[in-house]
Amino acid sequence: MEQQRKHIIFFDGDCLICNRFVQKLLRIDRKKKFLFSSLQSEFSRATLKNIPKKIDSIVYLSPEGSFIKSEAVLKIIKQLGFPYTICYLLKILPIAWRDALYDYFAKNRYQWFGKNESCKIPSKAERERFI
């Protein structure tokens, strides 16, 4: 797959919620628009040089640019089409509010949901979508 024209989602591989989000995207992204990489991977470290080092947020790299936190989630949702784009209406909230809610959730996610203790073994088709 040619990575320059793809949409790459970098996610926290330790985060249970992040992993579930990726699994959901694998199911609903029938056009196979998205590629995925764990923030802990060598590819992420090499690719995300301009992103803060201690980032534990989702990072979305698209042909339009790179996005983090709530903006990343909304940009991803926008790519999914209807009915998911209904959630894009949250864009009307100021980014400071959205990111404050995102940060609150991110800060507490391990306490609320725990960490990923084991990984789902992806199918051959799914493995092709991971970098």
User: What pTM, to 2 d.p., does this model score?
Assistant: 0.84
Helix 95-113 × helix 69-80 angle, to 10°: 90
Cα atoms found within 13 Å of the Cα of residue 129, Cβ hemisphere only: 22
pLDDT in tens, the chain (131 residues): 444 568 999 998 888 888 889 999 999 998 889 999 988 888 888 888 776 666 778 999 999 888 999 999 999 999 988 888 888 888 889 999 999 999 998 888 888 887 766 666 677 777 888 88
